[in-house]
Chain A
């Protein structure tokens, strides 16, 4: 089946994850998606920060009313005119102190209010994410892969489980990936071997090597037998070739690289030679020896390798 050509919208970035939470006040339902309006009732979502601020304002309003009642009672109950004035002045000083104190501790009060809201509404948030997840499922069923992936991407910021990761990977495997896409890989690594993930990782490797990180290479090494069975030896050779991207990776995975050294294309071997040659003080172990031997054997005639052949 032909892969779908799609364009993803840019991922909305926030300083903190909780800032992505929003609520439909009519449905009393949370969401983590990018939609501005509730898909159920079409009313506008309210961001968690605005929600906390409005709760905080309401609390302050209630406190202010109580203070006003107490001060008014004190003034009304004053037995003499002198005590009435005294109560009035004391009341004003009290109100000013109260307001000042609250504004000084505003940040910690906001923090506590937010924490309290998230704890109290935790079940509602969970149900809201489940609803978002169901919407993504619907999109997949209707073959709308881009909106489905965008939804799963937002859910993935909150849900760190294999189910969500694999669902994202499965959608991505149905899409024609391009280098200009904002792709993720390390975040999608599942806790056990998954054929879909490996298929996706190998596709990513072709279009953007920078996404193949230490964690990803370690995954391939850990499940190398299963990878070879499903995708052949070439896949491991490509991953080992990608490990040459950074000096640190070469040191970390020198044994793995050494194993596939004989199968590297010229350009990869040349890169390895350049890195080893540029860092003579680094302890490369047997990798250096094997590389030199291979160059002497296979590329001694090649002018690109001339400076490495002694």
Chain B
């Protein structure tokens, strides 16, 4: 019984980790997008000059 509970806990953690990794993989893109986003963020309502 103890072995089943312990293994289940570990498997659950692993499933949660896989879910998080895939979620991040889906929402990751190209580094060019990060560049564009950064420039847009910095230039929106900017006052640097």
Residues of A within 8 A of B (CB): 15-18, 67, 70-71, 74, 77-79, 83, 86-87, 90-91, 94, 97-98, 101-102, 104-105, 107-109, 111-112, 114-115, 118-119, 122, 125-126, 129-130, 133, 155, 158-161, 163-164, 167
Of residues 1 through 49 on chain B, the ones whose CB sits less than 8 Å from some CB of chain A are 2-3, 6-7, 9-10, 13-14, 17-18, 21, 24-25, 27-29, 31-32, 34-35, 37-39, 41-43, 46-49
Interface contact A74-B6, CB-CB below 8 Å = yes
B38 CB, nearest partner CB in chain A, Å: 6
Cα of A74 to Cα of B6 in the assembled complex, Å: 7
Q: Give B residues with C-beta under 8 Å from A.
A: 2-3, 6-7, 9-10, 13-14, 17-18, 21, 24-25, 27-29, 31-32, 34-35, 37-39, 41-43, 46-49
> Which partner residue on chain A sits nearest B27 by CB separation?
A112
Known: A74-B6, A94-B13, A126-B46. 16 other contacts (CB 8 A): A16-B34, A70-B10, A77-B2, A78-B2, A83-B2, A90-B6, A101-B18, A108-B24, A111-B28, A118-B38, A122-B42, A130-B48, A158-B38, A158-B39, A160-B43, A161-B48
Contacts of A98 in B (CB 8 A): 14, 17
A112 to chain B, nearest CB (A): 5
A16 and B42 contact, CB distance less than 8 A: no
Instruction: State how many angstroms separate the Cβ of B42 from the closest Cβ of chain A.
Output: 5
A126 close to B48 (CB less than 8 A): yes
B24 and A163 within 8 A (CB): no
Residues of A within 8 A of B7 (CB): 90
* Cβ–Cβ contact B10 & A94, under 8 A: yes
Sample 14 A-B pairs with CB under 8 A, ordered by A number. A70-B9, A74-B10, A83-B6, A90-B3, A91-B10, A94-B13, A101-B21, A105-B24, A108-B21, A126-B42, A133-B48, A158-B39, A159-B46, A164-B48
